[in-house]
Each structure stands twice: as C-alpha cells, then as structure tokens.
Structure 1
Amino acid sequence: MDSLGPDDVILFQDEASVQFSPTSTRMWSLKGHQPEIYTYGGRKRQHLVGTVEPLEGNLHVAFSDTLKAPQFQHYLEGLLARYPESKKLIIVLDNARAHHSKELDPFLDANKERLELVFLPPYSPDLNPMEWFWKFLRKMVTHNTFFGTFKEFQHALIKFIVKHKTSSLEIKTRCSYTKLFSSA
C-alpha cells in the first residue's frame, strides 16, 4: 500500500455465514432451571459479504447465495459504484480462496487505479474489524434466539444491519482503528 491520499478510503472486508439455528450462549436463568431454546436443526444459513469503514463507522453488507469469486466481484463492483471516481478504495481482507481467484484478474486489472486489495497475514481474524462486527451481529441477533421462519431470521439480520449502516457510533467504537491511523 502506497501513501494514502486525502480522498482514499480504507475498508475492511470479510464474509460470514450466519446459522439459522440459534447458537446457545451464556444467559441468566433461575438456579436449577436449564433454559430451553427451540431449534429446527439442520445447516441452513445466510451468507453475508461486508465491509466496514472504521474511521467513519460506515458499513456495507450484502446477502449472497454463495461465497465464491463471481459474488465477490459483484460485491466489489457495488463498492466502486458507492464511492465517487476521485477516491481510491483500499480494501483490507483475508486470504479466502475467492479473493485470490484467477477469475478476478481481468476485473482487478481494469480497476487498478481505483481499487487496491491488501491481504492480511494468514489466520489473523483479530486484525479485521469486520470480524468484530460479525461477532456483534451474532451476539445481538442469533444467540439464544429462535426464529419461526427463515424469512423472520433474514428480516432480523436486515433490521440490525440497517440500524448500524451509516456513521454508527456503535460501529466506530467496536471497529475502531483510530489509534492505528492517527499515529502516522
């Protein structure tokens, strides 16, 4: 990554698969009473692709059928459309197979003036603020929560994402990289 220009934007990107079945976590209950959480079982899930702009608190999340290279490219195209031509998007991301796919090469070459991918070291999710958002989303939406239908589950995800979508203080706080960027 070269020096940052005043109009450059740094985004942290990641994908997640959120299970439809509730995940059990610690919760309050009466002593001697085991809480029951209903579940359908199975492996149904919703795939999400997201980026966070930690300095501004902006969040961009899209639902996806799969987490493969064509969907990743489509997501990147959407990000480029959201930001003006004068800005360069620097996207910090993990080393998922879809991010290194040869299918992306023509697209990345065609957009190299506006788009730069910066890969995190392998196995370092703690360096990606988007991972922090996924953890927050699961805690607030799916932990210890039963949804009657998959549509209700998707609606709860959408409601949570929309609430935190733009310049959210919660996102700035949870995904803060202020110290990292202000030391320059």
Structure 2
Amino acid sequence: MTPPTTRTWSRRGHTPVVRVRGRSRRRLSVAALLCYKAGPPSRLIYRLCPDARPDGRKSFSWTDYRDLIQTAHHQLGGPIALVWDNLNTHLTAGMRRCTADREWLTVTQLPPYAPHLNPVESLWSVLRRISQANRAFADPDDLITAIRRGLHRLQYRHDVFDGCLTTTGLRKPP
C-alpha cells in the first residue's frame, strides 16, 4: 500500500521522504465496465473484490465476471459489445462457454500487451490520481473505503469516461 505521490516538497538540498506504515500482503481487485451508447451519458459499472473471500481466491473468478456482465445487461437493457483485455480469467473455458451462450453479448478480445486500447486502464490512472495520491493508508479497509469513494465520485463524471475512450483513439457514438 505504498502511496503514489503526485507532489511533494522539501528544503533545497534535502530529498523528500514519504513515510509509510508497514506493508501488507492483502490486496484488492476491482472490475469495471465503461459503458458507451449513443444518446445517454456514459456509465460506470464496477465491483470490488477484497481478498477475504470464503473460497480462498484472492481475485475475481470467471463467475464474478459473468455476474458483472449479467448485471450490466439488466441495468443497460440491451445488447452488449464487450471489449476486454487478455486477463487469464477472461480466457477460461467457463467464461468462453458463458459468452457463447448469450446471444445479446458480443465479445472482442484486445491484442496482447495493448493497455493503450483499453479505456478502463485510463480510468484506473484517473482513480489513482484522485483517491490515492499523496496518501498513506492506515490499513486495507482504509484503502477499500478510499477506492469506493473515488469510484462513487467518478460515477457522475461522464466527461471523464468519454475522455478515457478518447485516449484509445475512439469516440463515443453520436
């Protein structure tokens, strides 16, 4: 939980030092869908997955992604064209069967090592700057609270979502 620093200062000739309390082996996984459609404003649908899960997993399983996509389908009320990266969970046999069974879902895989084509990667950069910059977290729960607040604040910033799409070289449908 080393904090990203955006700005710091110190007296001339002295190197600034950011003190951090200990290290933690806990982690937090976040899955997000940036939803773009002609007409209505862009939307963010996300889920957090702390590492304290009953099944012992430390990240999302393919069933968690399946449930997120299903939730998005119900919230958006229409077909979904899903573009995602090559995360190993996205490529599992269960996920492939799941996506093939849903006629309202079209999946396009990004090429390997192409984070610049994924608008969600830009979203993580923005989130890191607004909710984590220059902050040392006391414990993992403090980090989870900060991430939740940051994502909640971003949910109403449709211009930020459109900017994340623009950084990929694409634009929102008119």
TM (norm. structure 1) is 0.75
Unaligned runs of 5+ in 2: 51-58
Percent identity, aligned pairs only, is 17
Q: Give the Å deviation of 1:167.
A: 5.3
* Structure 2 match to 1:43: 25
Unaligned runs of 5+ in 1: 1-20
Q: Give the Å deviation of 1:53.
A: 2.4
Q: Give the Å deviation of 1:40.
A: 2.3
For 1:131 and 1:182, the matched residues in 2 are separated by 17
Corresponding position: 1:157 with 2:147: yes
Matches within 5 A, 1:99-178: 99-111=90-102, 113-166=103-156, 168-176=158-166
Structure with more strand by fraction: 1
- RCO higher in 1 or 2 (8 Å CA, sep ≥ 6)? 1
TM (norm. structure 2) is 0.79
Q: Give the Å deviation of 1:131.
A: 0.2
User: Is the 1:133–1:175 contact (alpha carbons within 8 Å) kept by the matching residues of 2?
Assistant: no
For 1:60 and 1:182, the matched residues in 2 are separated by 17
Aligned pair count reads: 161
Q: Give the Å deviation of 1:170.
A: 2.5
User: Is the 1:88–1:114 contact (alpha carbons within 8 Å) kept by the matching residues of 2?
Assistant: yes
Root-mean-square deviation (CA), in Å?
2.6
Per-residue CA deviations over 1:59-89 (Å, capped at 9, x if unaligned) read 11101241221222122121122121xx210
* Structure 1 match to 2:16: 34
